[in-house]
Structure 1
Amino acid sequence: MQRRPFLRSALLAAAATTFATVAAAQAAYPNKPITMIVPNPPGGIVDSSARLVSDSLAKVVGQSVVVDNRPGGSGNVAYAHVARAPADGYTLLASYSAYHVGNPSLSPKLPWAQKDLAPVALVTAGTNVIAVHPSVPVNTLQEFIDYMKKNPGKLSYASQGNGSLAHIGTEMFKSQTGTQMVHIPYKGSGPAIQDVLSGQVQVFITTPPSVMGHIQSGKLKGLAVTGKTRHPSLPNVPTTAEAGLKGFELEAWVGVFAPAATPADVVNKLSASIRQALDQPEAKTRAAGAGIELRYLPPQALEAQVKRETEFWADIIKAAKITAD
């Protein structure tokens, strides 16, 4: 009879010790290096955003933040890795909007689900640029649309792969303008850019970092940017609305996510640290140079954006009959 109170006391003491240990670990977060998994190869908006944020975040939290590129499977390799990682705040995902909100509609058998990932913060956003090879005999967006209507299927457009934002966005552009182009998918922006520069493929709707320098040098023509305002590094390129195509907007974003079971206090502390990191002067300078917009959203707002965009892209994907690689 005397052993029961003793065992109960021992169990309570053990539980208290465990709770205190976990609480102390969370309070001290982070006390070791953090890894940022990137679902894309080096280069482009996702990798650039991850490196920019990681460098500034390391200074804020006092721990190194290591970028680990794990491309493959239209992002699914990286997403599945983070979804299965320990939920302790030390393995994070730099999530690309096209993968995050598009992949669930592209394939019913993903090795991850949106519910497996906890939103931490939106970090960057980028408009897209409608770029064409100089061999295309147009100088404005309206001339481009008119040319395609007179020459249906004559031009081809590049994308970073089936189901990428460039693929889905260009199909949306075709639908809205009543034009036809042939889709040529690539494995990333690098090889796509090479063929667009050579004229083998004539059109690329993509984020500014991929084509900005080529437009500035005259190797490509920038017909319009797909955001609400002009891009600061391409001040002479009008928006689609200014160019006469109202209602067509296309943005990419990068957000940070953690495994779903990550404690809320760790997520909130990390989100606040990311916000502080984005406010660093060096981060702002690097973002401006790369043509990336820093745009912070807290976890709840990012979660709402994911839900809204997932529903929107599901309709586009279904209407265009887009499938994954």
Structure 2
Amino acid sequence: MSEPPGATVTLPETSTADEPSKPLTAQRVLPLRRPGRWIATAVVLVLVAQFVHGLVTNPFYQWDRWNYWFLRPTILDGLAITLEVAAYSAVLGLAGGIVLALGRLSKNPVLRAVSWTYVWALRSVPLIVVLIFLYNFSALYKTLSVGIPFGPAFFSFDESRLGTDMVVAVIGLSLNEAAYAAEVVRGGILSVDQGQHEAAAALGLPKSYQFRRIVFPQALRSIVPNYVNQLIGLIKGTSLVFYVSLLDLFGSAQTMGATYPGDIVPLLLVVTAWYLILTSVVSVIQFYVERHYARGATRGLPPTPLQTFRTGLSDLRDRIRREAAV
């Protein structure tokens, strides 16, 4: 007899005489054992422990002298000069890099040629050569004047009075930084989808508005991580201003090392610690800036370092429990 449409048909349970039916039981899935990973982790932990032990117990490092020098006024004054030079050079270098990047992307062949030549020249010359050249600039041009090109000057001034050690250091680092920042900015602008440019042009928006409100904010997602690398290099590059008679962090440590030869190693460790602190602060700022500009570009914001640490700790705890239960 046929069943009406939509009816539920119940089939009888079948079993053989030799194999009686048994209730199904849940079986636990065993995790895959990874002995190599645990061995590698143990080796790395042992090496790290040995390094830390040697760092703490080796009398050659003279940690008591390190404590003495770490917050000395001389070191802190040098640190303030390092921060001042790095801040001015970062701002001026980024501004110059944006101008050079726009020049390289311009349709004007003269602007493209001049921008390319500047980037090519400054990336080819070592920074120390640029600084020493600027330091001796007054030997080439004793006075600088402002007036009509190839005509009379309105007023002039002594270059040696204007070119102080701080000015020479900032100008030298800014000129060098602008050449590298130009390529970072240009790469970020080129990373913006061409459809964004076409959509902005279709709306009839002015070129300056397109760049400020549409193109550049999107380019920052690519510019920020690359430029922060340049910024970290700039902070370390400030150590070269010692050669133009500016006592920054490294210069102060070098001067004290010449006065106290027995404290050279502790002084170098003090400089190392301060540079690690500065670059770490910049890296933290970089993370939150990248996280800010990631809004709308990813499905979810990347976790903060604290969230990552908590998640990793929880995963490790769960893995240990699973391994112990096997």
Give the number of the structure whose alpha-carbon radius of gyration is greater. Answer: 2
With structure 1 as the length reference, what TM-score do the two structures score? Answer: 0.22
Normalized per residue, which structure has more strand? Answer: 1
Higher relative contact order (CA 8 A, sep 6+): 1
Normalized per residue, which structure has more helix? Answer: 2
With structure 2 as the length reference, what TM-score do the two structures score? Answer: 0.22
